[in-house]
Structure 1
Amino acid sequence: MKHIFAGLVIALFGFLSEAQAEETANKAIKIGCLYPTTGPAGLYGRDSTVAIQMALDHVQDTYGDDAPQLDVMIEDTRSRSLRSLQIARAFIHEEAIDFLCGVLSSDIALLVAIEAAKAETFFIGAGHASPSVILHERHPFYFRANNGSRQSMFAGAQYIKENHSRADRPLKIAFIGPDYELGYQAWGDLRGFLNQQGVAFDVVGEYWPKLFETDYNSHIRHLLQGDVDIIINAHWGLDFVAFVRQAAQLGLFSKAVVMNFDGAGDFGVLGPLGDELPEGLVLSAHSHVNWPETAEHTAFVQEFHDRAGRYPSFVAQDAYAGILAIAQAVHVAGGVADKQRLRHAFETLKIKLPEDPEGFESFMDPVSHQLMQVQAIGVTRRDTSYPPAGTTLGDWHIYMPPKHWPTHEPDSSKN
């Protein structure tokens, strides 16, 4: 491991040596981030690395001589649960970090949250989306700095009601998503919010391929055989890329409207698919390359491209937000010595981010510790403005967040 940026330590292949630990122990605020930088989800970790350096530069520009000194260490989790847990423990007990941050997988986030709770260590989630960290394993020092899947499904239910609900009969909805925490929660939340919105629907199929699956053909053939109006997909990253390619070959997109409200409208999907992504899919993500059309967002996307040679995935803005949230809370609290004061700074956090539209500022729900943000849902259309993508989103539907993290009654439908 070595210092490759001022204030940023990248640890892709091992932990800090004793000499290097001493080098960064000069009263700096230490942040240990966990992201995959190799493997199927490695792009998201590499994007996070670029965005974190952008955030550190932004902190310096914003606070000047008063800027908190942030030393960030990033370890490659390789999307492995046990490795992630070992990294989190090393950060907490060996490196004495002040903050854990990041984590892409919701399953891994649950494990890290438990470990952080034991040590009363702040964990700033930036990348994962499942509500389970908040519902079950949240501790007083966990805060999430990006939209969660529950917010995505809350907006998705509104979108379906406004654009696809029927008066003559219930909607026929099928679901396909990854067989792990995020998929379970997203599907349950969407059903709960559809019920809450008064949308009549019947579940006509559920399919649960494994995370990082490569062959969806059998599931797609089952979807083709059913009578369905809407297919809800909960995949993200290269999983959704593989699904789209196979679904297009088998003709699924002429069968029903395919919707994905959480991660598939991301440039990590649009870029790899190039011209292969069909028009007419309803997609969203935590953030987008072409929305909102503000000077701040345009500058963020362009600066990222200048640094990385590619456009940012949604996790880039998640990581960027996580670092800015830490810097602002530390600044307001006057340091990290008083944990209660620091926790209050997070609970009352209001922060203007590149993904915020004009007139809106992201804010923390003090009860759930979830950052509340605007959700933009779009429809795929041909657009070559962001190569190698040949398709982006348009026909935007914008959903403002409620004042507090949304809840619903459990869905009791028989599936």
Structure 2
Amino acid sequence: MAVVRRKGARRTRRRDSIAVGCLYPLTGRAARYGHDSIVGAEMAAEEVNASGGVLGRELRLLFADDRSDPTYAVKVAQRYVLEDRVDFLMGVVSSAVALAVTQVSRHFGVVFVGTDHASARLTLEAFQPYYFRVTNNTMQSMRAGVLYLARRPWRRFFYIGPDYEYGHRQWQDFREYLTRVVPDAQVLGAVWPKLFERDYRPFLRAVLEAKPEVLVHGFWGGDTIAFLEQAAEVGLFGEVQVVSFDAGGNYEVFEALGDRVPAGLILSARHHNNFPLTEANRRFVEGFWRRARRYPSYTAHGAYVGVHFIARAVERAGSLDPEDVVRAGEGLVLPTPRDREGFCSWIRPVDHQVVQEMYIGRTQPCDALPPARFLLGDWEVIPAEELLPTEEEVRRIRALAAAAPGGHAGS
């Protein structure tokens, strides 16, 4: 669908409310993430509106299914901008979808708040000034994983992940940092099942034949569940240490597998229901449970934080003008339920990426959040300042992307 109007041609609408056009997967294997995101976003909007709204205006959320399809999501985003005349775009779980939607944001000059996709490309090579991300990216999670593994004796690594942007970017970020931090590491190979693959056994056989000490997996959601079930069938966990640092430790995986979760997996996620044990995290988790009668997946937290980011940025800007909001969002202090006492998340001006600590744990029996029978424990905290590239590195990455054939880097 061709874009027919630029940002100056958008019809204005009455400013008695602030409209946020949210895109999430509401059907298919990723639907749980979309529905949890709606609950989390609505929780935050109710908090904002109950305290008087934003600049005296009600925050109004619109939701649509992006079908995890970049082409379809672009049509939804354009409809939000041209017909619903939203003030913000928000959401998106798939990195491939986000890379498409960010172009709509750039074209129309509408701020896009990414709440759950993770490819570092969005804040590096494909960065554009109207984009902000309020959850960790693949570079943060993979660097955290490398730092965790560097303190262990393992040196033979293999990767398995979905064959699209998110999977490939995890492996790129992990491999590049691994060679810097662990120069004697051996990378034995990688295999690439398609997104929403049904049969992982041929790929698992390739892993076992390579005989790595550590298998890094890059799956999420239903793909993680299917992968772990089939990995157990072929005896993988007795042969290889399995790790996953971006989405492998999501609550819904533990919920689905119950007591079939292997003990000793090394995992992380963008939010943990049982860590940190702060009042803010407890209120968020219990508040979600009261509304949904289930515990949240990580996407609920991302959507919750995204709404609060919009409210704080607009209040700081004193305006709904996108240029003012962008300036206000840069350097914004953003408290989140996942923050430990003494640390507060914030937005880096150079890349509009949230700065956060990462938490890595091991699976162990725990029935505190049923129906899950296993959760993560034995936590290690990776400091936020060790997880992102320097401003000089950011500019160098963007310059290389702009110089590549057919490439361009965002401003």
Give the TM-score normalised by the residue count of structure 1.
0.89
Counterpart selection for 2:136 from 147, 156, 164: 147
1:394 alignment partner in structure 2: 377
Distance 2:147 2:386 in 1: 16
1:129 alignment partner in structure 2: 118
Please say if residues 365 and 404 of structure 1, whose CA atoms lie closer than 8 Å, have aligned partners that are also in contact.
Answer: no
Counterpart selection for 1:324 from 296, 305, 308: 308
SS of corresponding position for 2:339:
coil
Distance 1:261 1:189 in 2: 12
Residue 286 in structure 1 maps to residue 270 in structure 2:
yes
Please say if residues 68 and 327 of structure 1, whose CA atoms lie closer than 8 Å, have aligned partners that are also in contact.
Answer: no
Residue 312 in structure 1 maps to residue 296 in structure 2:
yes
Please say if residues 48 and 54 of structure 2, whose CA atoms lie closer than 8 Å, have aligned partners that are also in contact.
Answer: no
Distance 1:403 1:329 in 2: 26
SS of corresponding position for 1:224:
helix
Distance 1:97 1:294 in 2: 35
Q: Deviations over 1:9-57 (max 9, x none)?
A: xxxxxxxxxxxxxxx9553111101001111100001001111111012
Counterpart selection for 2:79 from 90, 100, 103: 90
Distance 2:51 2:182 in 1: 46
Note the 1:110-259 alignment, pairs <5 A: 110-165=99-154, 171-259=155-243
Distance 2:180 2:348 in 1: 21
Please say if residues 136 and 355 of structure 2, whose CA atoms lie closer than 8 Å, have aligned partners that are also in contact.
Answer: yes
Q: Deviations over 1:266-320 (max 9, x none)?
A: 1121111111110010000000110000011011101101110110000000000
Displacement of 1:193: 1.2
62 and 399 in structure 1: CA distance in 2 versus 1, 3 angstrom threshold: farther
Distance 1:222 1:132 in 2: 29
Distance 1:328 1:58 in 2: 12
Distance 2:104 2:386 in 1: 30
132 and 385 in structure 1: CA distance in 2 versus 1, 3 angstrom threshold: same
1:343 alignment partner in structure 2: 326
Distance 1:64 1:37 in 2: 27
SS of corresponding position for 2:113:
strand
Code of the residue aligned with 2:195 in structure 1: it is L
Moved more, 188-197 or 275-284: 188-197
2:9 alignment partner in structure 1: none
Stretches of structure 2 that go unaligned for 5 or more consecutive residues are: 1-12, 398-411
Code of the residue aligned with 1:208 in structure 2: it is W
Distance 2:56 2:389 in 1: 35
1:363 alignment partner in structure 2: 346
1:75 alignment partner in structure 2: 64
Displacement of 1:404: 7.9
Distance 1:199 1:61 in 2: 54
Code of the residue aligned with 1:368 in structure 2: it is D
299 and 67 in structure 1: CA distance in 2 versus 1, 3 angstrom threshold: farther
Please say if residues 154 and 406 of structure 1, whose CA atoms lie closer than 8 Å, have aligned partners that are also in contact.
Answer: no
106 and 395 in structure 1: CA distance in 2 versus 1, 3 angstrom threshold: same
Residue 102 in structure 1 maps to residue 91 in structure 2:
yes
Please say if residues 196 and 223 of structure 2, whose CA atoms lie closer than 8 Å, have aligned partners that are also in contact.
Answer: yes
257 and 311 in structure 1: CA distance in 2 versus 1, 3 angstrom threshold: same
Moved more, 395-404 or 107-116: 395-404
Q: Deviations over 1:49-105 (max 9, x none)?
A: 111111012213445695542111010112122211110110111111111000110
Identity among equivalent positions (%) equals 39
Please say if residues 149 and 262 of structure 1, whose CA atoms lie closer than 8 Å, have aligned partners that are also in contact.
Answer: yes
Code of the residue aligned with 1:370 in structure 2: it is Q
Please say if residues 70 and 101 of structure 2, whose CA atoms lie closer than 8 Å, have aligned partners that are also in contact.
Answer: no
Stretches of structure 1 that go unaligned for 5 or more consecutive residues are: 1-23, 166-170, 411-415
2:336 alignment partner in structure 1: 353
Code of the residue aligned with 1:357 in structure 2: it is R
Please say if residues 251 and 273 of structure 2, whose CA atoms lie closer than 8 Å, have aligned partners that are also in contact.
Answer: yes
64 and 25 in structure 1: CA distance in 2 versus 1, 3 angstrom threshold: closer
265 and 122 in structure 1: CA distance in 2 versus 1, 3 angstrom threshold: same
Please say if residues 243 and 266 of structure 2, whose CA atoms lie closer than 8 Å, have aligned partners that are also in contact.
Answer: yes
Distance 1:91 1:296 in 2: 33
Please say if residues 152 and 262 of structure 1, whose CA atoms lie closer than 8 Å, have aligned partners that are also in contact.
Answer: yes
What is the RMSD of the two structures over their aligned residues, measured on CA atoms?
1.9
Code of the residue aligned with 1:222 in structure 2: it is A
Please say if residues 176 and 234 of structure 1, whose CA atoms lie closer than 8 Å, have aligned partners that are also in contact.
Answer: yes
Displacement of 1:376: 0.4
Distance 2:52 2:265 in 1: 42
SS of corresponding position for 1:351:
coil
Distance 2:50 2:218 in 1: 38
Displacement of 1:164: 3.4
Q: Deviations over 1:136-190 (max 9, x none)?
A: 222111000111111001111100101235xxxxx11010000000111111111
Distance 2:209 2:253 in 1: 27
2:10 alignment partner in structure 1: none
Counterpart selection for 1:385 from 353, 368, 375: 368
SS of corresponding position for 1:402:
helix
